[in-house]
Chain A
Amino acid sequence: MDKGLIALGAALAIALAAGAAAIGIGLASGKAFDATARQPEMSGKIQAMLLTAIVFIEATAIYALVVSLLLIFAF
């Protein structure tokens, strides 16, 4: 198969997923900072929840990373 097309596909896969994950993490952490500023005494709980959310958002980017690595090294 064409090597250039594979490279383009891998780059597109990781780029789109990373962009979307960045937007998601930005929204989540922005809201978390807002909440912490309003209620500083809840910061511990908010931090734990933020960490959980970020882990799940980041997972999508990681799946895309695995897919693009497979595209590069498996074909």
Chain B
Amino acid sequence: MTRFWAAFKEQLIEEAAVGDIGAAIRHAIEPNILFKWQIGSFELIFSDVIVVSWIVMMFIFVVAWLAGRRREKIPSHVGQLLSESLVNLLLNLCQNSGMTYDQAERVVPFVGTIGLFITFTNLSSLFKIPPPAKNPAFPIALALLTIIYVIATSIRLVGLRGFWASLVFPKAMLLPFRILDFIIKPMSLALRLFGNVFGAYILMEFIYIIIPVLIPGVVGLWFDLADGILQGAIFTYLTIMYIGEIVEGAHEAEHEHQIRQSAHI
């Protein structure tokens, strides 16, 4: 019996020890380049990130089309109920962060789309497909798009004058810091998404290599499922907060201005 156990242990250790773990992980984090074009001095790389994100886009398109196909005044099927409650949730979030209902209605489409997109691309790791956000280009592109959208939308909502007023609201001295904020915000958005997804991906690869049975399923519940959804929700929430901050600042500056004017009279 003891000999059996010794042999069993030896076998287990032999099976668990997979050569160079570092090399295996290094191989896992390299982007899978399908093919590339050489255009002048540039190199266009077509990797699995593009394939996964297009599949996710198709998925979202089909689901959204199915959910919004038969619209009724009193919703009776699951699709319409779910999508309506999601939109309502986002509308409430927008109104809580300082927008009026009309402003919230104009912000929700983009914000909801980007939140769903990030959530579903992160969930691709459930199917053992590497999530696109592990490639730094993906979160950086999303963050740049988001910050451009934040600036453009807040100018559209409160006007150029209101945007300027929100920049210099309590004191004009704050202007350089506010401008610096617009560089730090996308950096923090991109790094947060990239760091979380990349870290979770490496950890999951590590666990798959050392203990391939049972444990990945349990740990994956957090790192694949909950963390992906959480990152999508946080990205959405922060985008709404950034827009709400500017709108509220403009509103307060306007209020202050009116008080000062009435004091003069």
- Tell whether A73 is near chain B: CB-to-CB under 8 Å: yes
Q: Are A59 and B192 in contact (CB under 8 A)?
A: yes
Which B residues are in CB contact (< 8 Å) with A55? 192, 234, 237-238
- Tell whether B199 is near chain A: CB-to-CB under 8 Å: yes
CB-CB contacts of B27-49 with A at 8 A, as 1s and 0s?
00100000000000000000000
Contact A52/B194 with A65-B199, A73-B26, A73-B29 known, Cβ cut-off 8 Å: no
Instruction: Looking at the assembled complex, report how far the CB atom of A5 sits from the nearest CB atom of chain B, in whole angstroms.
Output: 16
Number of A residues near B (Cβ < 8 Å) is: 12
- Tell whether B60 is near chain A: CB-to-CB under 8 Å: no
Q: Are B191 and A63 in contact (CB under 8 A)?
A: yes
Instruction: Looking at the assembled complex, report how far the CB atom of A17 sits from the nearest CB atom of chain B, in whole angstroms.
Output: 11
Which A residues are in CB contact (< 8 Å) with B142? none
- Tell whether A69 is near chain B: CB-to-CB under 8 Å: yes
Complex alpha-carbon distance, A54 and B198, angstroms: 20
CB-CB contacts of A11-35 with B at 8 A, as 1s and 0s?
0000000000000000000000000
Complex alpha-carbon distance, A58 and B193, angstroms: 12
Contact A66/B195 with A59-B188, A73-B29 known, Cβ cut-off 8 Å: yes
Complex alpha-carbon distance, A63 and B195, angstroms: 7
Residue of A nearest to B234 (CB): A55
Instruction: Looking at the assembled complex, report how far the CB atom of B105 sits from the nearest CB atom of chain A, in whole angstroms.
Output: 21
Q: Are B191 and A66 in contact (CB under 8 A)?
A: yes
**Interfacial residues of chain A within 29-56, with CB under 8 A of chain B in the complex:** 48, 51-52, 55
Number of B residues near A (Cβ < 8 Å) is: 16
- Tell whether B96 is near chain A: CB-to-CB under 8 Å: yes
- Tell whether B209 is near chain A: CB-to-CB under 8 Å: no
Interface of A is mostly: helix
Instruction: Looking at the assembled complex, report how far the CB atom of A45 sits from the nearest CB atom of chain B, in whole angstroms.
Output: 8
Complex alpha-carbon distance, A69 and B205, angstroms: 14
Residue of B nearest to A64 (CB): B195
Residue of B nearest to A48 (CB): B96
Contact A52/B241 with A69-B202, A73-B26, A73-B29 known, Cβ cut-off 8 Å: yes
Which B residues are in CB contact (< 8 Å) with A48? 96
Instruction: Looking at the assembled complex, report how far the CB atom of B232 sits from the nearest CB atom of chain A, in whole angstroms.
Output: 13
A residues bordering B, Cβ < 8 Å?
48, 51-52, 55, 58-59, 62-63, 65-66, 69, 73
Could you write out 29 A-B pairs with CB less than 8 Å apart? A48-B96, A51-B237, A52-B237, A52-B241, A55-B192, A55-B234, A55-B237, A55-B238, A58-B192, A59-B188, A59-B191, A59-B192, A62-B191, A62-B192, A62-B195, A62-B199, A63-B191, A63-B195, A65-B195, A66-B191, A66-B194, A66-B195, A66-B198, A69-B195, A69-B198, A69-B199, A69-B202, A73-B26, A73-B29
